[in-house]
Structure 1
Amino acid sequence: MATIQAEARTIDNGNGHLISSYWYHPAGTPRGAVLVAPAMAVEQRFYADFAGWLAEQGFMAVTFDYLGMGLSRRVPLRQLDVDVLDWARHDASAVLAEVAEAAGDLPLYWIGHSVGAQILPLVKGHERLTRIVTIAAGSGYWRENSPQIRRKAWLLWHGLAPVLTALAGYFPGGRIGAVGDLPAGVIRQWRRWCLHPQYLIGVEGEPVRHAFDAVRTPLTSLSFTDDEMMSARNTESLHGFYTSAPKNLRRIAPSEIGAARIGHFGFFRKSFAPTLWLRWLLPELAPEESRTVA
């Protein structure tokens, strides 16, 4: 099959900023539309192979960068007054509205990687979704983090993040190999969430709790036993906030697909197209058509 060419679009987020997105169109009539919501500090280019594959399967697939990330970074980060809730209520909401309009009556899917799954209830128009799929997503509460990073998380939240952000005017995570560069409002809000046992609900209060309660779209979670960031408890905590949504939580060991490692980011590697993408994900997006996939 010919290589899928991505169409670049800028989208007004309704708050005075333009958001970069890429649209991957199938060769024929789409069977559905998929919006890929990125993880914290991960640029949309990371999902390009995955989105192209979705287009090859007949879906219109869309990726985007949150304000201040990737191609949506048009001014120095220290000049941006933005937090994670803004990413949900403005950036992701604006992109979802565009995708929903383009999709018309087609099934519409949200694939949220890590924080892209955490913000879904705060995104306007999520009621239109046919299904939510979360990838390597958990609460982020540091005491529930996997043992591999728990000590590093303590150092990050109690030392590096507050100190470096105060000095630089943004979080220079890229320089120290921790998460990535982030606007000050994003890292400070995320820090408050990660220090609270109930994560964003514990910090933001009842409005956010009600937003999670209000989600009734069927949800599938794909998490991985070797995720270096999200433990099984992290995953259970986050999805426990979705009290009204029908949920199917699937925790996958690399050995189940004959792999040595998956981790927090591995799902989106092109090498997993025959396994994680085709056999685990596609049946969630096209259950009737994919029922015979072994």
Structure 2
Amino acid sequence: MSCQDMPATQDVQSRSPILNTAQGEPFKESATDGYVLGGFTWRHTSPDAQRPVVIINAATSVRCGHYSRFAAYLFANGFDVITYDYRGIGESRQASIKGLNASWTDWGALDFEAMLKRAQREFPGQPIDVVGHSFGGCAAGLAESGRVIRRLVTVGAQFAYWRDYAPEHRWRMFGKWHLLMPLMTLLCGYFPGKRLGWLEDTPTGVVRDWSTPAARLEGRPSGRALMKKTGTLPFANVRAQTLAISISDDPYGTIAAIERLLDYFSNASKTHLRIEPQDIGEQQVGHFAFFRSAYQATLWPIALTWLHTGALAPDTPGRQVPRS
């Protein structure tokens, strides 16, 4: 079956309905290489230098609309908020991504960097916080301006090292993401994820980064290229109060995977909170559900409290993972 012949099936956004972005103000922002990014801003009418602005970094090939209700929740609780799509995805997709060689480091070093610059320009003097889901937590460490981040909350954040996948799902996930995904990308010139019902269509460079079975980020193709260009990965620039949230039934966000990424944030103060679904009265949560409005009363206040105070409330569900 050719790429053109494949029927579209439900993607992550369809299983969790596209969330309303009407409350957000659409914007366009150019990265330093000229690529035009799209996103949305939730902005209070009166300026306040004490009011933080939160940038939400999406997971790999998940549209920023998935985070809109969470953005509205933060807005209602006193934050200005920016959501955006990485190049090639959603609001930042051009007519075709075939041949677009965007990578994970492009998404962090160029696209997230552009959002940090936008936040400083549009909200001058305000504290800048970040929420990063999955790869979005990794992107937070790839921007040169990471030193401006005050507080960072990550959810299931890792960079897909296959040996860190949950053992009971490991070989199925390896076949899906490290064999079939690059094969389909070779055939089509991009990964047709939307037609397969696996996330959004994804640029070639991102697929190469994800599917390369290297234990270190600098062992991935774009990580090697960034190291060759600059001599380092800029994670050490981030000195934020960092909360890494992981859910025990998330097959990507195992303790080993979360800790592997956290180790890169060498100058940040770090807390790893591990939550069992039963801690919040649920049977399952998984990798994507944290940002669904069903968890507004149970999971969202954890992130909100951290962004407000840089600490966990005494009654926070879950346990803190000891860090060496």
Comparing 146-155 with 12-21, greater Cα deviation is found at 146-155
8 Å contact kept, 2:145–2:237: no
1: CA distance between counterparts of 2:103 and 2:35? 14
Please, what is the CA RMSD of the aligned residues? 2.4
Structure (1 or 2) with the greater helix fraction: 1
Change in 2 beyond 3 A, CA 1:208/1:293: farther
Comparing 44-53 with 269-278, greater Cα deviation is found at 269-278
- The aligned residue for residue 250 of structure 2 is 227
- The aligned residue for residue 102 of structure 1 is 122
- The aligned residue for residue 35 of structure 1 is 55
Change in 2 beyond 3 A, CA 1:270/1:29: farther
Q: Which amino acid aligns with 1:129?
A: I
2: CA distance between counterparts of 1:55 and 1:239? 27
SS in 2 for 1:286: helix
Matched, 1:258 2:291: no
- The aligned residue for residue 306 of structure 2 is 284
Matched, 1:166 2:183: no
The 5-angstrom pairing of residues 243-254 of structure 1 reads 243-254=266-277
- The aligned residue for residue 136 of structure 1 is 156
8 Å contact kept, 1:4–1:52: no
Change in 2 beyond 3 A, CA 1:131/1:288: closer
Q: 1:202 aligns with which of 219, 233, 236?
A: 219
SS in 1 for 2:125: coil
Change in 2 beyond 3 A, CA 1:13/1:67: same
Q: 1:25 aligns with which of 19, 36, 43?
A: 43
- The aligned residue for residue 298 of structure 2 is 275
8 Å contact kept, 2:70–2:293: yes
SS in 2 for 1:77: coil
Cα distance, 1:116 vs. partner?
Answer: 0.6
Q: Which amino acid aligns with 1:9?
A: F
Q: Which amino acid aligns with 1:160?
A: L
Q: 1:151 aligns with which of 163, 171, 178?
A: 171
1: CA distance between counterparts of 2:116 and 2:178? 35
SS in 1 for 2:309: coil
2: CA distance between counterparts of 1:290 and 1:160? 41
Matched, 1:93 2:110: no
Q: TM-score, normalised by structure 2?
A: 0.82
8 Å contact kept, 2:248–2:275: yes
1: CA distance between counterparts of 2:148 and 2:310? 20
2: CA distance between counterparts of 1:181 and 1:208? 31
2: CA distance between counterparts of 1:27 and 1:236? 40
In the TM superposition, structure 1's runs of 4+ consecutive aligned residues that sit over 3 Å from their partners are 26-30, 177-180, 205-210, 288-294
Comparing 143-152 with 230-239, greater Cα deviation is found at 143-152
**Structure 1 residue runs without a partner (length 5+):** none
8 Å contact kept, 2:64–2:90: yes
Cα distance, 1:16 vs. partner?
Answer: 2.5
2: CA distance between counterparts of 1:23 and 1:284? 21
Cα distance, 1:39 vs. partner?
Answer: 0.3
Q: TM-score, normalised by structure 1?
A: 0.89
Cα distance, 1:22 vs. partner?
Answer: 0.3
1: CA distance between counterparts of 2:153 and 2:146? 13
Change in 2 beyond 3 A, CA 1:6/1:180: closer
The number of aligned residues is 288
**Structure 2 residue runs without a partner (length 5+):** 1-20, 317-324
Comparing 32-41 with 88-97, greater Cα deviation is found at 88-97
Listed one character per residue, the Cα deviations across residues 49-73 of structure 1 (whole Å, up to 9, x for unaligned) are: 0001111001101100011101111
- What is the identity percentage for the equivalent residue pairs of Structure 1 and Structure 2? 31
SS in 2 for 1:67: coil
Comparing 40-49 with 212-221, greater Cα deviation is found at 212-221
